[in-house]
């Protein structure tokens, strides 16, 4: 086989048919790209929203998380006795614990005086909270009563807190009717349930929410020794602790939150439907283009059959046209997707980024789109009767 | 090379008959039931290897039907049709498709592929030949275009060629597959008389060089003299014309 595939090739009919009809090619590629961009956006939003729902969850410096079984999501966290967290200390694998208060509170915009709900976390300023090491020195500021650390990545509706603070001004505002002062800035990021975040000490937190029973917390963080198996400790804690707490691994805590948004809301459905619409629109466009392409060239296909080409060869031309369209329609969609993700990240602070699995999913969808359309357009080829062309 | 074995098998069949086409008692009908209409009535025709036969007759007399039956484009209904000794009555789709590779066809319209250059169009013909590399097939295509006098028009699209040039490309394409039988349906219909004459002479000369038989349907009285033999069809019956 000195010749091989390359030498046995024929005229590249599929690509020539596409290239020599630039308008049709442009329409097809625009349609496919559009469908691809739509799918990228919808799936990106969906995954971004699910990801965003756990922005804060991911930051915790913890291996195991205790929550109340009555908690359904970050926007409705119920309290449980802090005792349970202390009980967990009984296990030798447990290295440290951090009790955390967690609630949505009304923050008054210091500029416009409007209020908006913000996620407030209360903890003992000396306890480790986040894996981010820059927090510890700032946390010291919280030992003074009425001080908060404000998330500078909160949405602008909370007021120009970060700007004012950087300018050296004293930023004071009200939370739940109590006066607080911003003692520093942190960087967390918005999530689906919370447009902004702030940290405060447990003491201040109880003052902001005087109805919280003493000794009640919403989240308990448990850190283990480096060589401990979190799954196994979770099992032991479940038997050790009564039913008034749910024991989760850190990943379990993240899944718990994401699961709420995936199953408890229609977000997943809406955005998946949006992506499906993109798919359908793409199918219609590619089918139209390929079908009219085959129809226009029917006499030529019939001529080829009269010359002795097999129907199979001609079907191959249509399939290759579909493949080429898929490939060259996907590339601009991918590039545009990257650009739009950047735009979305800047405009909404949602953690939307191109990942391999989504890039692959969209490519697969485009491929299916083009192949299905090619398959349907092929049926037209059966009408190519070489006897009719004389 | 496989093309050698192909031609050997031709000559073995040929030696028995020395006929490219042998038809006896061929009848054909269109439609069904009450609208069924007979277009061919017991046609007999023999074409020897290398012979140039012209078929004339009024429109609608069945000439084109006869051509499509010989060209294995249509299923034979009744009668005996042998092309290169191969019986076409009852031949399946695949069998007819294979046979078509050995028959060149030239149509009333040029039927070139619009998206291919002249050279690529001709190569669609030579691509049917097994055992040649891409480069060899491309060189053959160029050779054929040179033979029809279009070496300057290699990379022009059909759109940019004149009617006569297009028909010459079509001839090159048909011959590029090295057929032993060439079927042409009014190849001069779209051409002016001088160009038509030129094209037909070219066709005949090249077919001769390849010892390829030609069956050409024509209305054009000015080209009748290129034929070795004239046959005339009327109402589905064939008559040997007296010269």
pLDDT in tens, A19-73: 999 999 999 999 999 999 999 999 998 888 888 888 889 899 999 999 999 999 8
> Can you tell me whether residue B41 is helix, strand or coil?
strand
A contact test, residue of B124, B157, B177, B217 with most A CBs within 10 A: B124
Residues A239 and A270 both lie in one domain: no
User: Cβ(A14)–Cβ(B120) under 8 Å?
Assistant: no
Residues A37 and A84 both lie in one domain: no
Within a domain: A62? no
Residues A73 and A220 both lie in one domain: yes
For B179-241, list the strands marked E by DSSP: 181-185, 213-217, 229-234, 237-240
CA distances from B120 to A10, A14, A330, B144, B178 (A): 10, 13, 29, 12, 16
Residues of B in contact with A389 (CB under 8 A): 107, 111
CA distance B166 to B158: 6
The angle subtended at Cα A224 by Cα A220 and Cα A228, nearest 5°, is 140
Residues A367 and A320 both lie in one domain: yes
Q: What is the pLDDT of residue B242?
A: 57
User: How far is CA A92 from its chain centroid?
Assistant: 37
Is the minimum CB–CB distance between A41 and chain B shorter than 8 Å? no
Within a domain: A261? no
For chain B, list the strands marked E by DSSP: 19-30, 37-48, 52-56, 78-83, 86-87, 103-106, 181-185, 213-217, 229-234, 237-240
User: Cβ(B149)–Cβ(B18) under 8 Å?
Assistant: no
Average pLDDT over residues A156-168: 92
DSSP character string of B180-191: SEEEEESTTTTS
pLDDT at B44 exceeding the cut of 60? yes
Of B107, B128, B135, the CB nearest to A308: B128
CA distance A118 to A255: 22
Quote the tokens at residue A349. Answer: 């602070």
Residues 6 or more apart whose CB falls under 8 angstroms from that of B216 comprise B52, B53, B54, B55, B182, B183, B184, B185, B187, B200, B203, B227
ipTM rounded to 2 decimals: 0.86
- Identify the residue whose tokens are 């003491």: A203
> For B183, which residue in chain A has the nearest alpha carbon?
A390
pLDDT in tens, A197-235: 999 999 999 999 888 888 899 999 999 998 889 999 999
- Identify the residue whose tokens are 């595939």: A5
Q: What is the pLDDT of residue A70?
A: 94
**Hey, are the CB atoms on A299 and B111 less than 8 Å from each other?**
yes
pLDDT in tens, B157-213: 999 999 889 989 999 999 999 999 999 998 888 788 888 888 889 889 888 888 899
Within a domain: A174? yes
Within a domain: A6? no
pLDDT in tens, B211-222: 899 999 988 888
Rounded to the nearest 5°, which phi and psi values hold at B85?
Answer: 80, 0
Residues A88 and A212 both lie in one domain: yes
Rounded to the nearest 5°, which phi and psi values hold at A177?
Answer: 85, 0
CA distance A87 to A97: 10
Residues A234 and A300 both lie in one domain: no
- Identify the residue whose tokens are 């309290």: A79
CA distance A78 to A68: 6
- Choose one of A213, A244, A275: the last residue of a domain: A244
Residues A296 and A149 both lie in one domain: no
Residues A48 and A73 both lie in one domain: no
pLDDT in tens, A327-366: 999 999 999 999 999 998 888 777 888 999 999 999 999 9
Residues of A in contact with B74 (CB under 8 A): 387
Is the minimum CB–CB distance between B59 and chain A shorter than 8 Å? no
Query: Residue A142: how many CB atoms within 10 A of its CB?
Result: 25
Q: What is the pLDDT of residue A1?
A: 41
Count how many Cα atoms sit within 13 Å of the Cα of residue A37 in the half-sphere of its side chain: 16
- A272-331 residues touching B, CB cutoff 8 A: 297, 299-300, 303-310
Count how many Cα atoms sit within 13 Å of the Cα of residue A145 in the half-sphere of its side chain: 6
pLDDT at B15 exceeding the cut of 80? no
Beta bridge partners, B78, equal B27
Within a domain: A64? no
Helix pair angle (A298-307, A267-296), 10° resolution: 60
CA distance A58 to A192: 14
Residues A96 and A204 both lie in one domain: yes
Rounded to the nearest 5°, which phi and psi values hold at A312?
Answer: -55, -40
Within a domain: A57? no
Is the minimum CB–CB distance between B135 and chain A shorter than 8 Å? yes
Of A19, A300, A308, the CB nearest to B100: A308
Average pLDDT over residues A86-91: 92
Residues of B in contact with A297 (CB under 8 A): 113-114
User: Cβ(A297)–Cβ(A18) under 8 Å?
Assistant: no
pLDDT in tens, A254-306: 999 999 988 888 888 899 999 999 999 999 999 999 999 999 998 899 999 99
DSSP character string of A340-383: HHHHHHHHH-------HHHHHHHHHHHHHHHHHHHHHHHHHHTT
Residues of A in contact with B119 (CB under 8 A): none
pLDDT at B17 exceeding the cut of 60? no
DSSP character string of A307-345: HT--HHHHHHHHHHHHHHHHHHHHHHHHHHHHHHHHHHH
**CA-based nearest residue to B68, from B91, B95, B100, B31:** B100
**Hey, are the CB atoms on A307 and B134 less than 8 Å from each other?**
no
Domain that holds residue A190: 69-244
Residues A47 and A73 both lie in one domain: no
CA distance B212 to B177: 12
Beta bridge partners, A184, equal A149
Within a domain: A181? yes
- C-alpha distance across the termini of chain A, in Å: 40
pLDDT at B7 exceeding the cut of 50? no
CA distance A159 to A180: 14
pLDDT at B11 exceeding the cut of 50? no
Q: What is the pLDDT of residue A51?
A: 85
- Choose one of A211, A244, A277: the last residue of a domain: A244
Within a domain: A349? yes
Q: Provide the shortest C-alpha distance from residue B12 to chain A (in Å).
A: 23
Q: What is the pLDDT of residue A368?
A: 95
Q: For chain A, give the mean pLDDT.
A: 90
- Choose one of A182, A209, A244: the last residue of a domain: A244
Average pLDDT over residues A166-181: 90
Quote the pTM value.
Answer: 0.77
The angle subtended at Cα A95 by Cα A92 and Cα A96, nearest 5°, is 130
Q: What is the pLDDT of residue B243?
A: 52
How many structural domains is chain A composed of?
2
User: Cβ(B116)–Cβ(B90) under 8 Å?
Assistant: no
Residues A224 and A363 both lie in one domain: no
Residues of A in contact with B114 (CB under 8 A): 20, 297, 300
Residues A206 and A322 both lie in one domain: no
């Amino acid at each position: 086989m000195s010749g091989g595939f390359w030498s046995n090739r024929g005229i590249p009919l599929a690509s020539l048919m596409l290239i020599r009809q630039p308008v049709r090619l442009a329409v097809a590629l625009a349609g496919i790209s559009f469908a691809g961009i739509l799918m990228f956006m919808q799936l990106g939003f969906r995954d971004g929203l699910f990801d965003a729902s756990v922005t804060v969850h991911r930051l915790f410096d913890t291996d195991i998380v205790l929550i109340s079984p009555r908690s359904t999501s970050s926007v409705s966290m119920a309290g449980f006795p802090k005792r349970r967290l202390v009980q967990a200390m009984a296990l030798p694998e447990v290295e440290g614990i951090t009790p955390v208060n967690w609630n949505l509170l009304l923050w008054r915009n210091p500029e416009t005086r409007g209020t908006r709900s913000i996620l407030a976390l209360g903890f003992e300023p000396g306890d480790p909270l986040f894996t981010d090491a820059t927090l510890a020195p700032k946390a010291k500021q919280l030992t003074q009563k009425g001080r908060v650390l404000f998330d500078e990545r909160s949405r602008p509706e909370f007021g120009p807190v970060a700007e004012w603070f950087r300018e050296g001004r004293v930023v004071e505002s009200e939370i739940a009717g109590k006066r607080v002062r911003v003692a520093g800035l942190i960087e967390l990021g918005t999530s689906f349930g919370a447009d902004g975040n702030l940290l405060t000490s447990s003491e201040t937190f109880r003052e902001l929410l005087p109805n919280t029973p003493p000794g009640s917390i919403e989240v308990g963080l448990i850190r283990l020794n480096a060589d401990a198996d979190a799954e196994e400790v979770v099992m032991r804690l479940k038997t050790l602790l009564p039913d008034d707490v749910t024991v989760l691994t850190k990943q379990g805590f993240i899944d718990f939150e994401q699961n709420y948004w995936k199953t408890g809301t229609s977000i997943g459905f809406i955005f998946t439907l949006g992506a499906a619409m993109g798919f359908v629109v793409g199918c219609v466009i590619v089918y139209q283009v390929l079908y009219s392409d085959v129809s226009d060239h029917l006499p030529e296909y019939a001529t080829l059959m009269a010359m002795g080409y097999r129907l199979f060869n001609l079907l191959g031309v249509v399939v290759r046209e579909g493949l080429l369209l898929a490939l060259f329609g996907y590339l601009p969609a991918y590039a545009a997707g990257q650009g739009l993700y950047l735009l979305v990240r800047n405009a909404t602070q949602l953690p939307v980024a191109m990942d391999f699995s989504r890039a692959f999913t969209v490519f697969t969808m485009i491929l299916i789109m083009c192949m299905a359309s090619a398959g349907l357009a092929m049926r037209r080829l059966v009408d190519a009767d070489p006897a009719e062309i004389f | 090379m496989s093309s050698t074995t192909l031609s050997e098998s031709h000559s073995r069949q040929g030696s028995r008959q020395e006929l490219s086409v042998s038809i006896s008692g061929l009848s054909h009908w269109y439609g069904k039931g009450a609208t069924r209409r007979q277009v061919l009535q017991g046609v007999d025709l023999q074409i020897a290897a290398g012979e140039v036969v012209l078929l004339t007759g009024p429109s609608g007399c069945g000439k084109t039907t006869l051509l499509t039956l010989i060209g294995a484009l249509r299923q034979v209904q009744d009668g005996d049709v042998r092309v290169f000794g191969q019986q076409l009555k009852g031949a399946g789709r695949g069998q007819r498709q294979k046979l078509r590779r050995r028959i060149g066809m030239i149509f009333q319209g040029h039927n070139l592929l619009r998206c291919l250059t002249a050279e690529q169009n001709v190569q669609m013909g030579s691509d049917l030949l097994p055992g040649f590399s891409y480069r060899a097939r491309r060189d053959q295509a160029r050779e054929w275009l040179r033979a029809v006098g279009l070496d300057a028009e290699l990379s022009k699209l059909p759109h940019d060629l004149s009617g006569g040039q297009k028909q010459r490309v079509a001839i090159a394409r048909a011959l590029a597959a090295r057929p032993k039988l060439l079927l042409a349906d009014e190849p001069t219909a779209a051409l002016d008389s001088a160009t038509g004459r030129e094209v037909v002479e070219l066709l005949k000369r090249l077919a001769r060089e390849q010892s390829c038989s030609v069956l050409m349907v024509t209305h054009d009285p000015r080209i009748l003299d290129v034929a070795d033999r004239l046959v005339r069809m009327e109402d589905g019956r064939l008559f040997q014309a007296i010269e």
